Amino acid sequence: MRSETLKPKKRRMSNITLTMIKPDAFSKNFSGKIMDKIYDAGFTIRAMKLTRLSEERAKQFYAVHSERPFFNDLIRFMTSGPIIAAILEKDNAVDDFRKLIGSTNPEEAEEGTIRKAFAENIERNAVHGSDSNENAQIEASFFFSGKEIF
């Protein structure tokens, strides 16, 4: 066997988005149903883990919102229990995933979207999705090392 065949395949990380199944949805055992919707929409999983954000890590992840009035509540919520973080791949991953999850506020989310089905309110909104290709790369690296991405 040639040694190259043992090396992991190096693939460029384009067409990816980063999702979190947030503490509200995880604690209500919605993870499987949410993953079904993600697979049905044509995404594949490049990386996935069950983890819990520390206060410091949550503040780092949501640093862009640090001046917003909801920031402290958001950090308290996002550190309140385990989350599932995953890198998802698909053509046009960021935009297609944002369509699949629906508006930040579930009251405004379209029928059939993940947030319409599983979110409680604008804060406890079941899932996160990256808002740009640039942030998808940053957020993917926040959760996963190169060896954890397949």
128 is catalytic: yes
HEC sequence for the chain = CCHHHHCCCCCCCCCEEEEEECHHHHHCCCHHHHHHHHHHCCCEEEEEEEECCCHHHHHHHCHHHCCCCCHHHHHHHHCCCCEEEEEEECCCHHHHHHHHHCCCCHHHCCCCCHHHHHCCCCCCCCEEECCCHHHHHHHHHHHCCHHHCC
* Catalytic residue selected from 128, 129, 130, 136: 128
Does residue number 88 form part of the binding site for ligand CMP (CB under 6 A)?
Answer: no
Nearer to ligand CMP, 14 or 121 (CB): 121
Q: Give residues 53-72 in contact with ligand CMP (rule: CB under 6 A).
A: 65, 70
| Residue 46 found at the interface with ligand CMP (CB under 6 A) | no
**Any contact of residue 120 with ligand CMP (CB under 6 A)?**
no
Q: Which stretches of the chain bind ligand CMP, using CB under 6 A?
A: 65, 70, 74, 104, 122-123, 125, 128
What residues are annotated to the active site?
Answer: 128
